[in-house]
Homo-oligomer: A and B are copies of this chain.
């Protein structure tokens, strides 16, 4: 990667890094950057049910912008939740705070009854918030990121009924062996929904979109190839990626990096378990990488974080591009100082 001497706006740097074009230094943002580690976030959310915060456009815009103003991130991601697009489907959904499905989906008949309304009509507040954010951010040349949960992850909750305390989703995973046709039908519907939802976000101003697959890493390689890769490929092929590159995040996916590459996304976002140097050599010119500081490391001293950021950027060099980020979401009780140090360290790489 040659380092041009010119500097870039945050939007240019982000989009060029996604597409593997030369940049002066990696851009930086944090997964779950709008979050419980910020006192200002907790204040704004106090007493407001989670979905109300998503539905209230002014609220969602303010929550989305907080990290830009308070800790200096270089991209803004919409404040929302992966279950928001399910609101128009007829699924009875609650947040406690994780998603809880009143009637888990376990039959083909239930899949057939899922409605797939146009998300611009069922959840218009998502697109209103994106348009408002883009209007706010465009003059500052700060990039706007949209997102969706991956179908496999949505399906895990929909079939199980809720997050499983042991992260094992036994009902869902057994459906793979007992009732594969049902699961294939459910994944197909969710894939359709995800593609429509992300393209509508791009229409509303998202300049990058990220697909969050929190749970597909629980599968072995062969099952991942069967159940997950085709879904990711379909999504990657049907998004309007000339307008917005796609970032694919798979938590706990160190063992399926080759399959992540095959999905054809622009950027692979890898968790902290992945050796970034080894991943960069494997990915090479085929994708950019995003990541992957251990979120727990944000409690470390400032010097440690500066050194860790330098090491991540150096390790990622063999990949065509790199976006600095955490390896998973920022934790609720993370010290704000740690977040600031991480971001300052990233910005210092250009000096």
Contacts and interface: CB of A to CB of B under 8 A. Distances in A.
A123 interface: no
Nearest to A272: B220
A52 interface: no
B296 A174 contact: yes
A334 to B, nearest CB: 9
Could you say how many copies of this chain the assembly holds? 2
Nearest to A165: B165
Given A170-B331, A174-B299, A331-B170, A220 B255 contact: no
Contacts of A111: none
A178 B170 CA distance: 36
Given A165-B165, A254-B254, A255-B255, A173 B296 contact: yes
Nearest to A274: B255
A108 interface: no
A296 B176 contact: yes
Contact of A177 (B176, B221, B292, B297): B297
A305 B298 CA distance: 45
Contact of A275 (B174, B221, B274, B292): B221
Given A165-B165, A222-B275, A331-B170, A304 B177 contact: yes
A304 B178 CA distance: 11
A2 interface: no
A252 interface: yes
A167 interface: yes
B177 A296 contact: yes
Nearest to A166: B167
A274 B167 contact: no
Interface string A202-227: 00000000000000011111110000
A300 interface: yes
Interface residues of A, number: 35
A243 interface: no
Contacts of A273: 217-221, 255
A347 B252 CA distance: 34
Contacts of A177: 296-297, 299-300, 304
A278 B331 CA distance: 34
A36 to B, nearest CB: 13
Given A170-B296, A177-B296, A254-B255, 11 more contacts: A165-B165, A167-B167, A173-B294, A174-B299, A176-B296, A178-B299, A178-B300, A217-B273, A218-B273, A220-B275, A221-B275
28 contacts: A167-B167, A168-B296, A168-B331, A170-B296, A170-B333, A173-B294, A174-B296, A174-B299, A176-B296, A177-B296, A177-B299, A177-B300, A177-B304, A178-B300, A218-B273, A220-B272, A220-B273, A220-B292, A220-B294, A220-B327, A221-B273, A221-B274, A222-B275, A223-B294, A254-B254, A254-B255, A255-B274, A255-B275
A-B interface, 5 closest residue pairs, ranked by CB to CB distance from nearest: A254-B255, A177-B300, A173-B296, A221-B275, A174-B299
